[in-house]
Structure 1
Amino acid sequence: MPFTVQYAVPMTCEDCTKSIKKALDNVEGVENVDFDLEKKLVTIRGESAPSQIVSAMRGIGRDAIVRGSGRPNSAAVCILENAQGKTRGLVRFIEDEEHQIIIDCTVAPTTPQAQQVSIHASGDMSQGAMSTGEKLYTLGMTSKFGDVFSLITRQSLPLMNTIGRSVVVGPPSGPTTESLAGVIARSAGLWENDKVVCSCTGMTLWEERKVATTV
């Protein structure tokens, strides 16, 4: 069944939208594409995996960030930190109409190896990843993209039941003192917040992600 997802994509002119539309024409399952050039947002409806959409945009040099779906209370965010409390990554969760969860995770290259991304039972950050409790869901492994590692996947998860729990990025065998972790918090969904520039920092979404994943 088709679902709607909004992506923040750096665009400056009609030529940008044309190149994106051309790239998406090669992605099976895309039914409709709407552009908001002023807000730098692309809304896509169809059955294509978000990973395919992002991959197609990256293929033409566009850094697409998942922003939301068409449902209220359908988004969450997690800021990943290392044991020293320094930000090293971001995770966005979006629930679509099919109650599938789209996960967009980007982390700094703290290790040359791909890492497992998982949700743990506790949001206790007192000892970093080591105090996050039992592993509840395994989301997948990161892969190298430019200067960072990323994971984009779509899975069946109860989004609201993950609020207050934690995301851990580390070895598949379990958290270590070098693992990244953060607490999952509710975030604005599609049409609830279409800003691409933070009023606090003045940075764009892409600049914020770069800062968050810079070692």
Structure 2
Amino acid sequence: MRRFEFLIATSCEAPSIESLNELLLGKGNIKSYDHLNGLVIFETLQTASTVESILKKRFSKVKLVGQSSESLIQAAGVAIIGGNKAKGIVRLLEDENGLNIEGTVSGLEKGSYSVSINEYGDISNACLSTGNPVSKASEETPCGILGQVESDGSIDTKFSLNSGRLSIMECIGRSLVLQNETKKIACGIVGRSPGVSENNKKICACDGTVIWEEQAFGPYAVAPPSET
């Protein structure tokens, strides 16, 4: 079971618990709700992007600000990735089923891309300095390769992967890389993501302007342009 804390920004009129439950239609259970600050905690088996998309049907601004699971490992990770054209956000959360990876990336051309955790949390020379996918002794396929993503060339490519070969603590501090058959397309350093009720950023009570990093990555470290 996963727990997600969302900030719901409205025009100063907070939704009711009843209206949120009706909107979710069985996709999650509300564990707590802070009407004053617009913070609501859901417990669900769904992915964060599924809950977010449901909420966005009703509210203009919705932001995931914390995540955790029932796993003994409560850490979660996030990577803001960038390249020549591609940019996006990828979140990592470990639960009883392994490492769950959710991403939204814009600017990808149609094709297949591998998603990997690479050796070094170093983007000083763009994606070239991230090293190779993490590998353990005697592995035929590096455990750092998390899976494949198919893009149809749409504005946003959304993906959800699962891997039982790496723990969240083996990812934090390293780099997350998207690569096609010939080169690394986008990358970013995996940082620790706030857990539920750990994000204490100050926000505007009406629209939460300063916390919407998917809309403007400004305060976050984006990888410099990758090699051409």
Judge same fold: TM > 0.5, yes or no: yes
The one-letter amino acid of 1:13's match is E
Superimposed CA distance per residue, residues 87-146 of structure 1 (whole angstroms, 9 cap, x where no aligned partner): 9333333345x37444343333254667543322222324322332323132552768x9
Residue 149 (str. 1) matches residue 147 (str. 2): no
Matched residues in 1 for 2:151 and 2:203: separation?
Answer: 27
The one-letter amino acid of 1:169's match is L
Say which SS state the counterpart of residue 129 (structure 2) adopts: coil
Say which SS state the counterpart of residue 210 (structure 1) adopts: coil
Matched residues in 2 for 1:72 and 1:210: separation?
Answer: 30
1:168 Cα deviation (Å)?
Answer: 1.1
Contact 1:76 1:93 in 2 (8 A): yes
CA RMSD of aligned residues (A): 3.7
1:61 Cα deviation (Å)?
Answer: 5.1
**CA distance 1:99–1:188, change in 2 (3 Å):** farther
Matched residues in 2 for 1:181 and 1:21: separation?
Answer: 37
Q: Which residue of 1 aligns with 2:3?
A: 4
1:166 Cα deviation (Å)?
Answer: 0.7
Residue 167 (str. 1) matches residue 172 (str. 2): no
Give unpaired runs (5+ residues) of structure 1: none
Q: Which residue of 1 aligns with 2:215?
A: 210
Superimposed CA distance per residue, residues 158-183 of structure 1 (whole angstroms, 9 cap, x where no aligned partner): 01111221111242x2533xx11111
Q: Which residue of 2 aligns with 1:193?
A: 199
1:60 Cα deviation (Å)?
Answer: 3.7
The one-letter amino acid of 1:160's match is M
Give unpaired runs (5+ residues) of structure 2: 134-143, 219-228
1:13 Cα deviation (Å)?
Answer: 2.6
Superimposed CA distance per residue, residues 27-49 of structure 1 (whole angstroms, 9 cap, x where no aligned partner): 2xx34443223333221113333
Q: Which residue of 1 aligns with 2:24?
A: 24
Matched residues in 2 for 1:155 and 1:38: separation?
Answer: 38
1:192 Cα deviation (Å)?
Answer: 2.0
Residue 123 (str. 1) matches residue 121 (str. 2): yes
Higher radius of gyration, 1 or 2 = 2
Query: 1:1-150 counterparts in 2 under 5 A?
Result: 2-11=1-10, 12-15=12-15, 18-27=18-27, 30-60=28-58, 63-65=62-64, 67-69=66-68, 74-82=75-83, 88-96=87-95, 98=96, 100-109=98-107, 111=109, 115-135=113-133, 136-141=144-149, 148-150=156-158
Matched residues in 1 for 2:98 and 2:147: separation?
Answer: 13
**CA distance 1:25–1:88, change in 2 (3 Å):** same
The one-letter amino acid of 1:38's match is L
Say which SS state the counterpart of residue 160 (structure 1) adopts: helix
Contact 1:50 1:153 in 2 (8 A): no
Contact 1:90 1:212 in 2 (8 A): no
TM superposition score normalised by structure 2: 0.66
Segment drifting more, 39-48 vs 151-160: 151-160
The one-letter amino acid of 2:80's match is I
1:5 Cα deviation (Å)?
Answer: 2.4
**CA distance 1:141–1:7, change in 2 (3 Å):** farther
Runs of 4+ in 1 over 6 A off after TM superposition: none
